[in-house]
């Protein structure tokens, strides 16, 4: 008779839980929960760390810069779950920014910054916000026109989101040093690894606080966190290495390689919505072997969105010197302002630490990096990227990938089934009252994946 028991509800001492997990491996009967072993000597110091990964902590972090999540907490570590305050719909922080809070953030984590450099940085931040405020009313009108043009069946809910669509595109001028918040769930050894490897002042502070709070609740875990093992050097992707500034009107996508397409099994949409079971169904295992490798260039805003799909592998990002001119910005002819904000950022980057210059990047600054993902991981990522509920740039990245695969393998390639929104097959929107308002009947033609504006 199989017996199933709930051992922990994130409320069991991690040493007790690690001991139980290890003893399951080392003895022929189920151990009693509460029996302890030498977890430091027999497990931790020997790098037998899976027993520690049964315990998870969730931290709420408020006031961290958007850039310190994108280029820090989310950059390299895939072993977490995170829910972040949406930058798409957080106009509040742009409407009445607390410049004093941002200035204090800089002085706290970069205390050696010159007063003149700090003043220049704050002037640059205010310039970006000024461009936003000078154009947001007109941008909202343009966004409304685009909705009327592209979405003939837009509901009242979609039309009420028009100011948010405008804000989403106008934020390209605003630096990602603006504060946000997120919930962050992580297991014990992943926290230890982040604590040791943190590469910016803000990361060292945040992971240090996480470790302090964890040890405060569970004092026996103090042996895991050794300050002498912490990385002391900084790392940043630098503006100095980027090419001269350019304006880009679409993200860039280059298909490098497709491996194993002959083994691809097109998944039935029923196993992906509302729960994605691709990685859990044995019939889909061959899709974990096939792989698509790409090089992309996207805005920092979209890089933050892209990080949410952690089953894909990503290489080191680099700034390209380009600025993403989204359709609303293009309609408003804001190229001069875009060049201006990029030039200011480049000048500031020469006089402040690289880790600060990195998070002073405007949302519209573009980065490039290599991506590689199995067919299952790609299908999961793309499940709604060609849905019009996805932001405009994310949609265009998926569209370009679809076009590249069709060009390489032909318009009848089974792989194209990964690049279809839920409405494409049956004509039914899965978003309920969030239906985007486009004409779904267009799926019967060749025009279902146009160049969107909003």
Sign of CA dihedral 31, 51, 289, 283: positive
Neighbours of 265 (CB within 10 A): 16
Question: Rounded to the nearest 5 degrees, what angle is found at the Cα of 347, between the Cα atoms of 346 and 351?
Answer: 110
Q: Which residues partner with 313 through β-bridges?
A: 372
Closest CA to 383 of 295, 263, 310, 275: 275
Three-state SS string across the chain, please? CCCCCCCCCCCCCHHHHHHHHHHHHHCCCCCCCCCCCCHHHHHHCCCCCHHHHHCEEEEEEEEEEHHHHHHHHCCCCCCCEEEECCCCCCCHHHHCCCHHHHHHHHHHHCCCCCHHHHHHHHHHHHHHHHHHHHHHHHHHHHHHHHHHHHCCCCCHHHHHCHHHHHHHHHHHHCECCCEEEEEEEEEHHHHHHHHHHCCCHHHHHHHHHHHHHHHHHCHHHHHHCCHHHCCCCCCCCCCCCCCCCEEECCCEEEEEEEECHHHCCCCCHHHCCCCCCHHHCHHHHHHHCCEEEEEEEEEHHHHHHHCCCCCCEECCCEEEEEEECCHHHHHCCCHHHHHHHHHHHHHHHCCCCHHHHHHCCECCEEEEEEEEEEHHHHHHHHCCCCCCCCCHHHHHHHHHHHHHHHHHHCCCCHHHHHCCCCHHHHCCCCCHHHCCCCCHHHHHCCCCCCCCCC
Domain spanning 246-444, CATH architecture: 2-Layer Sandwich (3.30)
CA distance 51 to 81: 19
Residues 6+ apart with CB under 8 A from 447: none
Closest CA to 122 of 338, 348, 322: 348
Q: Strand pairing of 318-324 and 365-374?
A: antiparallel
Percent pLDDT > 90 in the chain is: 86
Q: What is the pLDDT of residue 244?
A: 67
CA distance 113 to 103: 11
For residue 303, what are the CA distances in angstroms to 198, 269, 365, 384? 20, 27, 10, 16
Q: Is pLDDT above 80 for 90?
A: no
Q: Which residues partner with 184 through β-bridges?
A: 59, 82
Q: Is pLDDT above 80 for 242?
A: no
Q: What number is the average pLDDT over the span 32-56? A: 93
The angle, 0 to 180 degrees and rounded to 10, between the axes of the packed helices 115-150 and 99-109 is: 130
Q: What are phi and psi of 126, to 5 degrees?
A: -65, -30
Question: Rounded to the nearest 5 degrees, what angle is found at the Cα of 424, between the Cα atoms of 419 and 425?
Answer: 105
Residue with the larger pLDDT of the pair 244 and 10: 10
Provide the token pair at 344: 């200011």
Locate the domains of the chain by residue range: 1-54, 246-444
Q: What number is the average pLDDT over the span 223-248? A: 89
Q: What is the pLDDT of residue 18?
A: 94
Does the model's pTM come out above 0.85?
yes
CA distance 120 to 126: 10
Among 28-32, 60-64, 142-146, 204-208, the range scoring the smallest mean pLDDT is 28-32
Q: What is the pLDDT of residue 4?
A: 74
Q: What number is the average pLDDT over the span 13-22? A: 94
Q: How confident is the model at residue 3 (pLDDT cuts 50, 70, 90)?
A: confident
Residue with the larger pLDDT of the pair 58 and 4: 58
Q: What number is the average pLDDT over the span 274-302? A: 96
Q: What does the mean pLDDT of the chain come to?
A: 94
Q: Strand pairing of 318-324 and 246-248?
A: parallel
Q: What number is the average pLDDT over the span 100-118? A: 97
CA distance 271 to 102: 45
pLDDT tens track for 299-332: 999 999 999 888 999 999 999 999 999 999 999 9
Residues in the chain, total: 454
Closest CA to 165 of 358, 361, 437: 437
Q: Is pLDDT above 70 for 241?
A: no
pLDDT tens track for 399-445: 999 999 999 999 999 999 999 998 998 898 988 888 999 999 999 88
Question: Rounded to the nearest 5 degrees, what angle is found at the Cα of 316, between the Cα atoms of 312 and 320?
Answer: 115
Q: How confident is the model at residue 5 (pLDDT cuts 50, 70, 90)?
A: confident
Q: What number is the average pLDDT over the span 98-120? A: 97
Q: What number is the average pLDDT over the span 210-230? A: 96
Cis status, amide bond into 274, omega within 30 of 0 = yes
């Amino acid at each position: 008779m199989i017996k199933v028991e709930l051992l922990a509800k994130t409320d069991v001492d991690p040493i007790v839980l690690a001991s139980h997990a290890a003893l399951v491996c080392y003895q022929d009967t189920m151990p009693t929960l509460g029996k302890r072993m030498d977890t430091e000597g027999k497990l931790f110091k020997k790098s037998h760390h899976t027993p520690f990964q049964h315990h998870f902590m969730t931290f709420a972090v408020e006031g961290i810069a958007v850039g310190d999540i994108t280029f820090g907490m989310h950059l390299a570590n895939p072993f977490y779950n995170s829910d972040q305050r949406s930058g798409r719909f957080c106009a509040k922080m742009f409407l009445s920014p607390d410049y004093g809070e941002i200035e204090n953030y800089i002085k706290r984590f970069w205390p050696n910054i010159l007063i003149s450099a700090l003043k220049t940085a704050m002037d640059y931040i205010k310039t970006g916000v000024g461009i936003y405020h000078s154009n947001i009313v007109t941008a909202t009108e343009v966004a409304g026109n685009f909705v009327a043009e592209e979405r003939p069946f837009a509901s009242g809910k979609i039309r009420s989101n028009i100011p948010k669509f405008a804000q989403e595109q106008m934020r390209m001028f605003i630096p990602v040093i603006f504060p946000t918040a997120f919930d962050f769930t992580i297991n014990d050894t992943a926290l230890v690894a982040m604590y040791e490897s943190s590469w910016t002042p803000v990361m060292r502070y945040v992971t240090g606080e996480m470790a302090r709070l964890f040890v405060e609740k569970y004092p026996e875990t103090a042996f895991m966190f050794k300050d002498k093992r912490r990385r002391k050097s900084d790392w940043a992707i630098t503006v100095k290495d980027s090419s001269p500034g350019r304006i880009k009107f679409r993200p860039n996508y280059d298909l490098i390689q497709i491996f194993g397409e002959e083994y691809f099994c097109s998944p039935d949409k029923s196993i992906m919505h509302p729960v994605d079971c691709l990685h859990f169904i044995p019939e889909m295992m061959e899709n974990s072997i096939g792989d698509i490798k790409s090089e992309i260039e996207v805005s920092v805003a979209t890089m933050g969105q892209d990080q949410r799909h952690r089953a894909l592998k990503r290489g080191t990002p680099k700034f390209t010197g380009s600025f993403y001119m989204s359709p609303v910005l293009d309609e408003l002819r804001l190229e001069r302002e875009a060049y201006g904000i990029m030039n200011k950022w480049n000048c500031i980057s020469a006089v402040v630490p690289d880790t600060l210059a990195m998070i002073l990047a405007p949302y519209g600054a573009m980065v490039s990096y290599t991506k590689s993902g199995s067919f299952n991981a790609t299908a999961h990522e793309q499940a709604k990227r060609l849905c019009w509920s996805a932001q405009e740039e994310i949609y265009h990245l998926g569209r370009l990938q679809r076009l590249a695969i069709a060009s390489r393998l032909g318009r009848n390639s089974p792989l194209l089934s990964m690049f279809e929104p839920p409405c494409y097959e049956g004509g039914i929107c899965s978003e309920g009252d969030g239906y985007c308002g486009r004409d779904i009947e267009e799926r019967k033609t060749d025009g279902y994946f146009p160049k969107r504006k909003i």
